[in-house]
């Protein structure tokens, strides 16, 4: 693993910028460039905080696959089942909006 010099941050680099619709408007996610490699043939597990419509995870999966990577799975902390009707997503907590 590369060692960071004190007081210097790594340069800001973006591999892919994803614009998509969320339940309350538009959002943007940026996937970082990988150090000394590419997404091709690498495996990823996506973790998100809240699963409402599922659009964030779907767009990230789609982009990783376009870059040649593999998505092994996805999980979330909180799944709002009432919004997405997906009880199959791995989550720590399933809730309804009641």
Number of domains in the chain: 1
pLDDT of amino acid 33: 87
Strands 90-95 and 70-80, by their bridges, are: parallel
Higher-confidence residue: 8 or 94? 94
Q: What length does the chain have?
A: 98
Residue 43, domain member (yes or no): yes
Residue 88, domain member (yes or no): yes
Please determine, for residue 6, whether its predicted confidence score (pLDDT) is greater than 80.
Answer: no
- Structural domain of residue 43, as residue ranges? 33-95
Q: What is the CATH number of the domain that holds 75?
A: 3.40.50.2020
Residue 89, domain member (yes or no): yes
Higher-confidence residue: 97 or 42? 42
pLDDT in tens, 13-49: 778 888 888 777 888 888 888 878 889 999 999 999 9
Please determine, for residue 8, whether its predicted confidence score (pLDDT) is greater than 60.
Answer: yes
Q: How many angstroms separate the CA atoms of 24 and 16, rounded?
A: 23
């Amino acid at each position: 693993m590369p060692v960071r010099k004190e007081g210097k941050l790594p340069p800001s680099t973006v591999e892919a910028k994803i614009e998509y619709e969320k339940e309350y408007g538009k959002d943007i996610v940026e996937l970082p460039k990988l150090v000394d490699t590419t997404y091709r043939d690498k495996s990823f597990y996506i973790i998100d905080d809240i699963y409402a419509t599922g659009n964030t995870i779907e767009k990230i999966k789609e982009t990783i696959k376009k870059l040649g990577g593999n998505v092994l799975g996805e999980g979330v902390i909180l799944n709002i089942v009432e919004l997405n009707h997906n009880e199959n997503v791995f989550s720590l907590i399933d809730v309804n909006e009641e």
